[in-house]
């Protein structure tokens, strides 16, 4: 069957939905880490890092071993929450107003909220900091977040955190008001989420708890006791801290999962664990046999962990089907019994994973998936970077243009024989290059009119800075204003490499 027919799967009228048929509307706990790669789990073969709690969760889950996401953070989050490729959501970068999720999109949080779920986010949003883009307007009733792409980050325009924020004792925006917290950031987010979940139990209402930690994203700042576990092992200093940050995530995840057992709700709670893009500081130690890392269109930049545990509903197993972040929305819409609302039916490109969750060997027709780094300079014509760090995937083939621009520089790899992407087969299979290249041209033409943030200019002061100074007094310094001047964004190139505060 032609994969094109399955690029967009529209789920009409789920009156006889899977959830309704099973008689259950589960709680949903979604754990998402930032910059932890597929190889940064000890069960995947990492020779140094130990993640016993994630390993246990993995052993109890349906594990998607070929799950594809975007090369960087805002794009993946955009696709997860809408069921379509990030460029069609206006998200073509992680800063410069191009991290903002179009207001025309329906989010899975809105869908779950309409189906009776209590909804909470605890950590990193990174889909727009201006008031109308914040999660309280996108389906979340409980909001406990930092700003921008990371704690302490400040970039020109709309994307930035509270001034001088730190990984320890950070200021966190809680339902519109900043709170000074106590402790390490990951502990703070998991602690708040745990208290919120417990507060929902007496009412008997199902919950959607989303915990997207900023860790282990750089800057690599771990608790000293966590970093100490990896010192003296011959690792670079950044990897010591990176692994320490993952250890802390693992410990927090284990504590929360134990709470589900303690509260007696584990059997009716769907737990999902993912990471948002390819690996970073850990790939120099172990990259699970892949080429590439975060920010690239190679497999190492787009393959993610994806564990789905629902005791009694899903039997633990590996699933090798080609799945992706765009499948998250329709899957939760079906599992929750909510269905896809009319307003989102032309939006959703992904497929429900329910057939694979019930039977990992279920038929799963081939498909085309598209990856693009984006990140071209502010106000530039996207067509000048049309073929820069982009790829087309099917279950067997991947067509990659790493160094193209306005013209392609295609390389072709047979993943059945060469998962490490070491041998270019383009000359031997020109017909495959033509076929996949043609699909890319069609896809790019669909994306262009939906890149709605390309000419947007942000506010003079980051929204989180403005909220902070309004609450606590004071005002930005001259240096702060220069940093946040949206016109300064014109000086930032495709990689956004100019450091302002933290890393992107």
| DSSP sequence for 314-374 | S--EEE-S-EEGGGHHHHHHHHTT----GGGTTT--S---HHHHH-TTS------EEEE--
Rounded to whole angstroms, the Cα distance separating 362 from 285 reads: 35
Q: What is the dihedral of CA 43, 53, 231, 36, to 10 degrees?
A: 70
User: Which has the closest alpha carbon to 456: 153, 156, 162?
Assistant: 156
Q: Where in the chain is the domain with CATH 3.30.1120.10?
A: 369-450
Helix, strand, coil share of the chain (percent; to 5): 35, 15, 50
CATH 3.40.720.10 fits 3-358, yes or no: yes
Question: Tell me: the pLDDT tens digits for 57-80?
Answer: 999 999 999 999 999 999 999 999
Query: Quick one: how far is CA 103 from the chain centroid?
Result: 19
Angle at 196 between CA 191 and CA 199, to 5 degrees: 130
Rounded to whole angstroms, the Cα distance separating 432 from 247 reads: 43
Residue with tokens 């998200």: 91
Rounded to whole angstroms, the Cα distance separating 307 from 316 reads: 9
Q: Which helix (H) or strand (E) holds 144?
A: strand 142-146
Return the structure tokens found at 65.
């071993």
Rounded to whole angstroms, the Cα distance separating 155 from 491 reads: 12
Q: Residue 18 forms beta bridges with which residues?
A: none
CB-count exposure of residue 504 (10 Å: 0-12, 13-18, 19+): buried
Rounded to whole angstroms, the Cα distance separating 249 from 42 reads: 13
Angle at 308 between CA 56 and CA 333, to 5 degrees: 160
Rounded to whole angstroms, the Cα distance separating 199 from 188 reads: 17
Return the structure tokens found at 183.
């402790």
Q: What is the dihedral of CA 490, 493, 498, 503, to 10 degrees?
A: 110
User: Which has the closest alpha carbon to 253: 238, 274, 239, 268?
Assistant: 274
DSSP state of 430: H
Q: Are 238 and 220 in contact (CB under 8 A)?
A: yes
Residues of the chain with pLDDT under 50: 1-18, 20-21, 492-503
Task: Give the CA radius of gyration of the chain.
Answer: 21
The architecture of the domain spanning 369-450 is: 2-Layer Sandwich (3.30)
User: Which has the closest alpha carbon to 65: 248, 267, 319?
Assistant: 319
User: Which has the closest alpha carbon to 142: 109, 167, 114?
Assistant: 109
Return the structure tokens found at 464.
């989180």
Rounded to whole angstroms, the Cα distance separating 436 from 458 reads: 37
Torsional class of 383: left (φ above 0), alpha (ψ -120 to 50), beta (otherwise): alpha
Q: Does the global pTM surpass 0.75? A: yes
CA atoms within 13 A on the CB side of 442: 11
Q: Which helix (H) or strand (E) holds 398?
A: strand 397-403
Residues in Cβ contact with 441 at an 8 Å cutoff, skipping those fewer than 6 apart: none
Helix (H, G, I), strand (E, B) or coil at 478: helix
Tell me what pLDDT residue 483 has.
67
DSSP state of 118: E
Q: Are 474 and 157 in contact (CB under 8 A)?
A: no
Q: Where in the chain is the domain with CATH 3.40.720.10?
A: 3-358
CA 193 → CA 136, 156, 183, 264, 276, distances in Å? 16, 30, 15, 17, 20
Residue with tokens 């589900």: 260
Tell me what pLDDT residue 486 has.
65
């Amino acid at each position: 069957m032609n994969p094109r027919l399955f690029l967009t799967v529209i789920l009409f009228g789920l009156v006889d939905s899977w959830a309704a048929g099973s008689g259950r509307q589960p709680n949903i706990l979604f754990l998402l880490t930032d910059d932890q790669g597929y190889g940064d789990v000890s069960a995947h073969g990492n020779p140094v890092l130990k993640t016993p709690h994630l390993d246990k969760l993995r052993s109890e889950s349906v594990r998607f071993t070929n799950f594809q996401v975007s090369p960087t953070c805002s794009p993946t989050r955009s696709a997860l929450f809408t069921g379509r490729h990030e460029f069609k959501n206006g998200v073509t970068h992680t800063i410069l107003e191009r991290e903002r999720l179009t207001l025309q999109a329906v989010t899975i949080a809105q869908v779950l909220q309409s189906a009776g779920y209590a909804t909470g986010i605890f950590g990193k949003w990174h889909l727009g900091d201006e008031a109308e883009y914040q999660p309280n307007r996108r389906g979340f009733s409980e909001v406990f977040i930092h700003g921008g792409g990371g704690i302490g980050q400040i970039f020109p325009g709309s994307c930035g955190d509270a001034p001088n924020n730190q990984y320890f004792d950070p200021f966190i925006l809680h339902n519109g008001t900043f709170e000074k917290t106590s402790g390490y950031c990951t502990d703070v987010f998991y602690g708040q989420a745990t208290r919120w979940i417990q507060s929902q139990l007496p009412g008997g209402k199902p919950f959607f708890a989303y915990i997207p930690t900023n860790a282990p994203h750089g800057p690599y700042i771990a608790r000293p006791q966590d970093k100490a576990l990896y010192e003296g092992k011959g690792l670079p200093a950044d990897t010591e801290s990176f692994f320490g940050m993952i250890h802390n995530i693992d410990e927090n995840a284990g504590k929360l999962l134990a709470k589900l057992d303690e509260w007696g709700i584990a059997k009716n709670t769907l737990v999902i664990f993912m990471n948002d893009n390819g690996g970073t500081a850990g790939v120099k130690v172990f990259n699970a046999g892949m080429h590439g890392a975060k920010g690239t269109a190679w497999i190492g930049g787009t393959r993610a962990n994806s564990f789905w545990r629902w005791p009694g509903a899903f039997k633990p197993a590996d699933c090798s089907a080609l799945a992706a972040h765009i499948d998250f929305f329709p899957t939760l819409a079906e599992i929750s019994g909510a269905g896809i609302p009319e307003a989102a039916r032309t939006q959703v490109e992904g497929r429900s994973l329910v057939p694979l969750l019930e039977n990992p060997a279920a038929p799963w027709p081939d498909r085309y998936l598209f990856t693009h780094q984006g990140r071209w300079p502010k106000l530039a014509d996207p067509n000048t970077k049309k073929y820069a760090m982009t790829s087309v995937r099917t279950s067997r083939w991947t067509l990659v243009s790493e160094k193209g621009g306005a013209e392609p520089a295609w390389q072709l790899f047979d993943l059945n024989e060469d998962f490490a992407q070491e041998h270019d087969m383009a000359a031997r299979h020109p017909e495959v290059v033509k076929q996949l290249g043609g699909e890319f041209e069609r896809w790019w033409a669909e994306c262009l009119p939906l890149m709605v943030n390309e000419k947007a200019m942000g506010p003079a002061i980051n929204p989180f800075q403005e909220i902070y100074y309004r609450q606590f007094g004071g005002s930005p310094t001259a240096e702060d204003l220069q940093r946040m001047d949206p016109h300064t964004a014109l000086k930032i190139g495709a990689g956004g490499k100019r450091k302002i505060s933290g890393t992107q």
